[in-house]
């Protein structure tokens, strides 16, 4: 659970890039799910520690980013399939 989720966002090469929370760069033991949709220029990788979402990297439209940040901030437990969070938005 965070008091404030570390976040970096930037428009780069006509894409929105966002990095939130903790990633495997800091914690190589994190589990993750990922999805790439090249024709829509979108990519999402979500990082988990046990049953909680702790980080994300997204490229493309920012839809669903607010919900992911909220889940990281509150430490909400993930009870369903993690892949469903890739559809957030």
From first to last of its 89 residues, what are the pLDDT tens digits of the chain? 557 888 898 887 778 999 999 999 889 999 999 999 999 889 999 999 999 999 999 999 878 889 999 999 999 999 999 999 998 75
Domain span at 79: 7-87
Number of separate domains in the chain: 1
**For residue 59, what is the domain's CATH number?**
3.30.390.30
Calpha distance 3→44 (Å, rounded): 24
pTM for this predicted structure:
0.89
Distances (CA, A) of 15 to 18, 19, 35, 43, 58: 10, 13, 16, 11, 10
Calpha distance 1→52 (Å, rounded): 9
Residue 19 within a domain:
yes
How many C-beta neighbours within 10 Å does residue 35 have? 13
> Which residue, 13, 16, 35, 29, is CA-closest to 88?
35
């Amino acid at each position: 659970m965070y008091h404030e989720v570390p976040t970096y966002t930037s428009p780069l090469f006509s894409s929105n890039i966002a990095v939130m929370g903790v990633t495997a760069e800091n914690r190589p033991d994190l589990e993750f799910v990922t999805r790439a949709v090249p024709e829509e220029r979108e990519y999402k990788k979500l990082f988990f520690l046990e049953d909680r979402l702790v980080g994300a990297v997204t490229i493309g439209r920012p839809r669903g980013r607010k919900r992911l940040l909220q889940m990281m901030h509150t430490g909400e437990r993930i009870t369903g399939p993690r892949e469903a969070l890739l559809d957030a938005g």
